[in-house]
Structure 1
Amino acid sequence: MSPNISSAKGLSQGADVNKQSSDGITALHHAAFKGHLDVIKYLRSQGGDVNKQSNNGLTTLHVAAFSGHLDVTKYIIRHGAAEVNKEDKDGETALHQAAFNGHLDVTKYLLSQGGDVKKESNIGFTALHGASQNGHLDVTKYLINQGVDMNSGVNNGRTALHLAAQVGHLDVTKYLLSQGAEVGHLDVTNYLLSQGAEVNKEGNDGSTALHLAAQNGHLDIIKYLLSQGADVNKQSNDGITALHHAAFNGHLDVIKYLTSQGGDVNKQSNNGLTTLHVAAFSGHLDVIKYLTSQGGDVNKQSNNGLTTLHVAAREGHLDVTKYLLSQGAEVNKEDNDGETALHLASKKGHLDVTKYLFSQGANMNNGAIKVPLAENTEDPTLSILKLFT
């Protein structure tokens, strides 16, 4: 008798084999993750439910497929797995888990048992999207040979090719192109462009390769894309530029290069947000210092009247608040609701920022309303900034 099965028998004497942890995990989940088939057989003989779902909706089958245990996967399906296409809370099936993690044998078996290769997760991911994004060439080839549409896009419009190229899986990218995929790392970018890909091609959200490279801080790709004619001030459907992405994520080297190539630091999104607004939201003081040195307007207002100071105070960034005031930010500037930076800081309970604003002449009775007590209400305009995350 193996130590694993011996332990399982000892624990199951009078115990509830389907007892769940705070995460909803059962003993069967643990055994499936480790690949202990003998334990799984015993627990099932004691009434273990292979279809029991964790808090995230994972069944024993999901876990076995994720870990690549083919023998466990086969046993679960043959002995009680209700649905091979059962979804977890993210809309993912066991096939998603197997393909995402490169388990070709499990992927093949699940398909032979009725696994839906076209099944989409909540964000539109299929097994192919996951295999391509994670660089699993063998799984990618197999799925395409099974008739999967390689040009189908996830919810943001990106295809398996976009996902593979963005992460830098050159072998998967080349294969997808060789199979007729419609047209990161520099070699992938170079390869795509050499195959006729349009440098300013937009996704469904209006983003280009330059937006993605700036978001992820890939300076070498940015230099190459610009040398090939990428539009440095190209705006997405929301009016976001590559500079906005770089500023939000704090990529100072990227920001310096983009501005040297004509990037407009005061370019506003559809909501009127500049690079200074988004840098202030994230608290990137070094970025803010550079942007102001390049002509960034600290008093530029968004469509709702927010200045960079409003944003910094609202998010509790004292160092940014101090710097902006030293650069001429208007301490009593009101937004469209008549609120100042002081109003926003106090609403969020940022005592240090509130005190500093008072010391710099902030008027607590300025505007149409008085400074409120701290609260946790979310401003709709500020929530727009969180789209960058």
Structure 2
Amino acid sequence: MHMINPTGVVLQGMDFTECYGDSVSSVAAAARSGCRKRVRRLIKRGFSVDCRDNRGWNALHEAAAAGSKECVQDILAAAGGSSRGCSAYVNSLTHEGESACHLAAQRGHLAVVRLLLEAHSNINQLTNDLSCPLYAAVDGGYKEVVELLLSKGAEVNRTHTASCWTCLHQAVYKGHCEIVHLLANVCNLEALDDHKISSLFVAAQYGRQECLEILVNAGANVSTQAADLATPLLIASQEGHQACVDYLLDHGADPNIACSHEWPQLPIHAAAEFGHISVLRRLIAVTDRACDRGNGMVSPLYVAIHSHQSKSVEMLLREGFSPDAQDCTHILGIRSPLSFALCRTSSKPYSESVGLLVAAGASLSEEDWIYALATDETDLLQLILKHRWIPRPEALTRDCSVPHHHGKAVLKLQEVRELLCVALSQVHFAARWLPLLLKAGLEPSLLLQPHMLEQADSEVLNYLLEFVNWSNLSPPSKHILDRRRAEKTWEPCPHFDSVPCLSHMCRLQVRSVLGPDLLMRTDVVQQLPVPSLLHDFLKFGDIPEASYTHSPPSPLSNRLQGYRSTHEHRHVL
């Protein structure tokens, strides 16, 4: 028969008489439906069993895929008398490289697989995508087919798929526990894929606890490492598979193996980063605390902050991890957990992690104070002052401090020094931060520095002077104020030309005796034998705050860079 295709080329020797519109032959169509009588009738009438459709499927492929043992028997019997012979026919492949045995195994047709193997089907024939009958049966979870193929000598350690997975990898991935049990007795337990991932690693990654137990009991290595050094414990911690984590730890998995080429990552870091709190709790108990403060290590606080996992931050701090941790500038470019949390905050209010770190006593550096003072927003400064206590003036004369005061951490001498340095460099924001600092108990005389007196707005300067005895300022300070008055850059309050009244002198004395911290931040004034009407006065509540009128500040990154490049320390203490 000659046919001409649309291009005009003559096609010779191709018999299309046995094809329907969908290109399936008569026998194949009958086999697909499992109609044995029709298959026999067609074969008897001389219809071909080897005619292929556009997928390369013949009648045997259709019968095997349909699971029709009787049709397979009849088709094989008919093929045995053909010129090709039964052995060649039973191993014929589709365009995808699939044998009839593969199609039957893929669908769990046990009797058909047995029949095809008896007809000498190649048990290890690979498809175009590197599958085989055993891999197909494993993937489908057909235990009896797997048992049959194993009993007939199917190769168990070959790699399949582009990722080089073995049948054991796939069985674990699919969670077919009974098949994993079968394979664990005959497979190489330490076979690795192209990323050096073992089957046990796959079990930990996908939370296949029962499969994990089978592999561990069979002798698989619980601390195997992938190409990137990740361990099963790390991946289980990352994915939050609590039962797998517990089982691995109970069976010898080491939580202190470094799991990254780039930095010493541990399973505890993975749990903290992804917020798996119950897993994190278990790992805290068994992880070497050297990761918290040790040189060359990275505290898990850093990764928890990076991923905005405030619950992880809270647990780590509660369990004794340091809010300061180690300086990771050389490893990750990060100086401290607090500085990292501040720079990770993209919008106000500041992240919960910032509050947790401040409350836990994280040390405040000059750069941290920039975030609090070099802005027209006061939320961070209020947060700091909520959890930290400004020490009394006498404590600032020596390099020591009370660790806690009224249940709150006390600012260290160095922290106060850096606070003042930043404050004096950010005088144009003083209308915002000055009232908060004075009401928190900062000694006002510490701010009576030349730079403050020269640069402060008129209202800010007046507010500051209301907290001191303006009549006994030092000669240099009076000289600056006199000059500013003459230049009309400062308009003092009218009463500054007079000696302070007795009531003001009394409250200055009360402040001095009680300490500005107790007076301003506690209810001690309510306990004094004075009329209640004086309580607000004694706490300087009658002084109006300066108004803030500056234009919006430049981006914080610019202010930080400018501070780093131009700031010189002022000796304020």
TM-score (norm 1): 0.52
Q: Alignment partner for residue 86 of structure 1, among 158, 168, 189?
A: 158
Answering whether residue 202 of structure 2 is matched by residue 141 of structure 1, we say no
CA distance in 1, matches of 2:106, 2:193: 22
Answering whether residue 170 of structure 2 is matched by residue 97 of structure 1, we say yes
CA distance in 2, matches of 1:237, 1:87: 42
Q: Alignment partner for residue 67 of structure 1, among 140, 150, 160?
A: 140
Preserved CA contact (<8 Å) 1:17 1:48: no
Q: Which residue identity lines up with residue 109 of structure 1 in the other structure?
A: L
Q: Alpha-carbon deviation of 1:232?
A: 8.4
Cα deviations by residue, 1:250-279 (Å, 9 ceiling, x for unpaired)? x999x95678869xxxxxxxxxxxxxxxxx
Q: Alpha-carbon deviation of 1:118?
A: 1.1
2:225 maps to 153
Answering whether residue 280 of structure 2 is matched by residue 189 of structure 1, we say yes
Distance 1:294 1:259, change over 3 A: farther
Cα deviations by residue, 1:155-185 (Å, 9 ceiling, x for unpaired)? 1212111111111111111111112211141
Identical pairs, percent: 23
CA distance in 2, matches of 1:150, 1:56: 31
Preserved CA contact (<8 Å) 1:199 1:209: no
Distance 1:30 1:124, change over 3 A: same
CA distance in 1, matches of 2:129, 2:327: 39
Answering whether residue 200 of structure 2 is matched by residue 109 of structure 1, we say no
- Counterparts in 2 of 1:264-275, with a 5 A limit? none
Q: Alignment partner for residue 312 of structure 2, among 221, 225, 228?
A: 221
Q: Alpha-carbon deviation of 1:79?
A: 3.6
Q: Alignment partner for residue 251 of structure 2, among 174, 179, 184?
A: 179
Q: Alignment partner for residue 6 of structure 1, among 68, 79, 82?
A: 68
Q: Which residue identity lines up with residue 278 of structure 2 in the other structure?
A: D
The higher radius of gyration belongs to: 2
Q: Which residue identity lines up with residue 86 of structure 1 in the other structure?
A: R
Report SS of the residue matched to 1:162. Answer: helix
CA distance in 2, matches of 1:51, 1:99: 21
CA distance in 2, matches of 1:129, 1:95: 12
Q: Which residue identity lines up with residue 6 of structure 1 in the other structure?
A: S
Preserved CA contact (<8 Å) 2:299 2:325: no
- Structure 1 gaps of 5+ residues are 263-292, 301-389
1:276 maps to none
Q: Alpha-carbon deviation of 1:33?
A: 3.5
CA distance in 2, matches of 1:20, 1:234: 61
Preserved CA contact (<8 Å) 2:191 2:198: yes
CA distance in 1, matches of 2:148, 2:299: 46
Cα deviations by residue, 1:286-336 (Å, 9 ceiling, x for unpaired)? xxxxxxx97457xx9xxxxxxxxxxxxxxxxxxxxxxxxxxxxxxxxxxxx
1:371 maps to none
Q: Alpha-carbon deviation of 1:72?
A: 1.2
Q: Alignment partner for residue 94 of structure 2, among 19, 31, 37?
A: 19
Preserved CA contact (<8 Å) 1:18 1:48: no
CA distance in 2, matches of 1:70, 1:116: 19
Q: Which residue identity lines up with residue 19 of structure 1 in the other structure?
A: T
Answering whether residue 126 of structure 2 is matched by residue 53 of structure 1, we say yes
Q: Alpha-carbon deviation of 1:84?
A: 0.8
Distance 1:220 1:71, change over 3 A: same
CA distance in 2, matches of 1:28, 1:216: 50
Distance 1:233 1:145, change over 3 A: same
1:353 maps to none
CA distance in 1, matches of 2:132, 2:234: 31
2:502 maps to none
TM-score (norm 2): 0.37
CA distance in 2, matches of 1:240, 1:45: 66
Distance 1:201 1:233, change over 3 A: closer
Q: Which residue identity lines up with residue 137 of structure 1 in the other structure?
A: Q
CA distance in 2, matches of 1:17, 1:216: 55
Preserved CA contact (<8 Å) 2:310 2:353: no
Q: Which residue identity lines up with residue 120 of structure 1 in the other structure?
A: L
Output the aligned Cα RMSD.
5.0
Q: Alignment partner for residue 201 of structure 2, among 118, 121, 129?
A: 129
Q: Which residue identity lines up with residue 74 of structure 1 in the other structure?
A: E
CA distance in 1, matches of 2:75, 2:67: 10
Q: Which residue identity lines up with residue 147 of structure 2 in the other structure?
A: K
Report SS of the residue matched to 2:67. Answer: helix
CA distance in 2, matches of 1:235, 1:91: 38
- Structure 2 gaps of 5+ residues are 1-30, 35-65, 80-88, 256-270, 363-553, 562-573
